[in-house]
Amino acid sequence: GAGVSQSPSNKVTEKGKDVELRCDPISGHTALYWYRQRLGQGLEFLIYFQGNSAPDKSGLPSDRFSAERTGESVSTLTIQRTQQEDSAVYLCASSLVPSYQGNTIYFGEGSWLTVV
């Protein structure tokens, strides 16, 4: 695709339910990142994929959060037993090679999650 695509763009869920957020990176991009931005706050790193493996998942806030990537393409971020503090916009980004090799990182428009 032309850019990083995320779905759903908006999700309202009840506390305690599970949610899945999807990210389609730019075709051919091997590196994929998930960030979270709570209202009025900065971006927090969640997890980084190189290919299908996750060398750095240190930012996942609890064991309710998990992510996977398949086919070196689509990634899914799953939040189990959602809580109100999970309300945020979840941003996905990708780059051609791992970003430490100096390539630009491109962001999607985010999935806005509201837990009521």
Contact residues toward other proteins (CB under 8 A) are: 4, 33, 35, 41-43, 45, 48, 55-56, 58-59, 91, 93, 98-102, 104-110
Please report how close the Cβ of residue 41 comes to other proteins at its closest, in angstroms. Answer: 8
Minimum CB separation of residue 15 from other proteins in Å reads 24
| 79 or 91: CB nearest other proteins | 91
Amino acid at 73: S
- The CB-of-47 to other proteins minimum distance in angstroms stands at 10
Closer to other proteins by Cβ: residue 4 or 115: 4
* Least distance (Å) between residue 91 CB and other proteins: 6
Q: CB-wise, 6 or 82, nearer to other proteins?
A: 6
Q: 21 with 46: CB under 8 angstroms? A: no
Report how far residue 33's alpha carbon sits from residue 48's, in angstroms, rounded to the nearest whole number.
Answer: 4
